[in-house]
A and B are shown apart, each in its own frame.
Chain A
Amino acid sequence: MTCNDVRAAFLTGDETGQFNDHLSQCADCRAAVPELERLRRALADPVVWDEPALSADDLMVALTGPRRSTPSTPVHRRGWPIGVAAALVVVVGVLALLLVRSDPADWTVSLAGAEAAPSASGVLAGWNVDGGSRLVLETRGLEPAPSGTVYELWFMSADEAFSAGTFADPANVQLMVGVPWREYPNLLVTLETADGDPAPSATWVLWNTWDEEEA
């Protein structure tokens, strides 16, 4: 086992007997342990995984507007095209970012494709914060919502449904919900039109396959 193998194993949390044997004989690797621990924590920090919404095209449009000595008006304050704006995450704010710990998710739930997207799947990860959970939804096989519609994530119990927010681009979904997952264990993603109906639509996209009869 080389030093780099040992350090890679440490970063993954795979601290086996071989790892400890190496560490007991290698002063350099022993000295690196505190920094590797810090690095491991930093790799779980949501900040290093967050994606800017600004594309290279958006940037160039913003920069090649009227050239001034001060920066051009930011794209997001001019009002983005609806498609870009809709792709933005709906609810995460300053508070959530500051409250989230640099830890792996507190819980994860696998989601399966429902009738409207049978080949799709997803994983919902939650970080417990004051007043609820910060959520990251990772999806596979789910296309962006068609024009005029959005996806909506619901936390449901037998008799209540709480919306955790809407999104149009399933590639970058971060939301907040103010109810604990354990009390609302049935998770559902629906496709919604702007019909003003506060209840989940009948177009189910993803769910965590609860027993419908029991629920």
Chain B
Amino acid sequence: MISGRVRRRFRSGDADAVRAFYQEFGRAVYTVALGVLGDRGLAEEAVQTTFLQAWQACSHYDPDRDPAPWLYAIARRAAIDLYRRERRHMRSEDQPEMAALPDTFEATWEAWEIRLSLDRLPDEERAVVRAIHFLGMSHRQAAEFLSLPVGTIKSRSHRAHRRLAEMLAHLEELSA
């Protein structure tokens, strides 16, 4: 988590604080951009734009507040702008595929929150969650893949999912 000291340094434009912000939020920004744009190269470009704009606007950032919603708003806008730029480009080449924002756009906030939560899991728990959900493995397969006893996989899985359920509980309230 970003400390108050780093937040204050970010506000003053400190480059090391920008680096720390990227290490904390860069993957979540990338997730939002990739969800909107569907292209890794464009998503990387949106990430750079997001952090450049955040840096340029650092004096407007309130260091007493969690930077996540502020950065999310910048990331979302950067992705939309890039999307529109690409859409104009595609129109000029008579390619109508990007005529409207993709359906995935509405889910970007949820994807942002999920990615932040995954990034905040300890590495060994995140590896188990990845094996189960992303790779579709059973506990036994995950145990073999990660070279761990099945019991360890089960306990890590339970701890990880408990943490995720707690960190993401507010999404239930939002959707209710």
Binding site for B on A (CB under 8 A): 4-5, 7-9, 11-12, 31-32, 34-36, 38-40, 42-54, 56, 59-60, 62-64, 71-72, 74-77, 88-89, 92-94, 97-98, 103-106, 108, 110, 123, 125, 136, 138, 140
Contacts and interface: CB of A to CB of B under 8 A. Distances in A.
B136 A104 contact: yes
B27 interface: yes
Nearest to A60: B19
B1 interface: no
Which 10 pairs from chain A and chain B are nearest by CB?
Answer: A104-B136, A8-B161, A7-B165, A43-B133, A52-B30, A8-B162, A74-B45, A35-B172, A105-B136, A11-B161
Nearest to B41: A76
B48 A72 contact: yes
Contacts of A104: 133-137
Contacts of A7: 161-162, 165
B48 A43 contact: no
A49 B15 CA distance: 27
A59 B35 CA distance: 20
B111 A59 contact: no
Given A59-B26, A71-B53, A136-B135, A54 B31 contact: no
Nearest to B52: A71
A39 B171 contact: yes
Interface of B: 15, 18-19, 22-23, 26-27, 30-31, 34-35, 38-41, 43-45, 47-49, 51-53, 55, 102, 104, 107, 110-111, 114-115, 118, 129-130, 132-137, 141, 144-145, 147, 157-158, 161-162, 164-166, 168, 171-172, 175-176
B114 A39 contact: yes
A148 B30 CA distance: 30
Contacts of A71: 48-49, 52-53
A59 B141 CA distance: 37
Contact of B134 (A4, A75, A136): A136
A54 B39 CA distance: 14
A56 B29 CA distance: 13
Q: For the complex, would chain B's binding face be called helix, strand, loop or mixed by DSSP majority?
A: helix
Contacts of A88: 40
Contacts of A49: 118, 130, 134
Given A12-B157, A59-B22, A52 B41 contact: no
B118 A48 contact: yes
20 contacts: A8-B162, A8-B165, A31-B172, A34-B175, A39-B114, A40-B133, A42-B110, A46-B134, A47-B34, A49-B118, A50-B30, A51-B27, A52-B27, A54-B47, A59-B47, A63-B52, A94-B39, A103-B136, A104-B133, A110-B145
A42 B141 CA distance: 21
Given A54-B30, A59-B47, A60-B19, 16 more contacts: A8-B161, A9-B161, A12-B132, A31-B176, A42-B107, A46-B134, A47-B34, A52-B44, A63-B18, A76-B41, A108-B141, A123-B135, A125-B136, A136-B135, A138-B145, A140-B147
Contacts of A108: 135-137, 141
Which of A5, A40, A54: most chain B Cβ within 10 A? A54
A202 to B, nearest CB: 28
A138 to B, nearest CB: 7
A196 B172 CA distance: 55
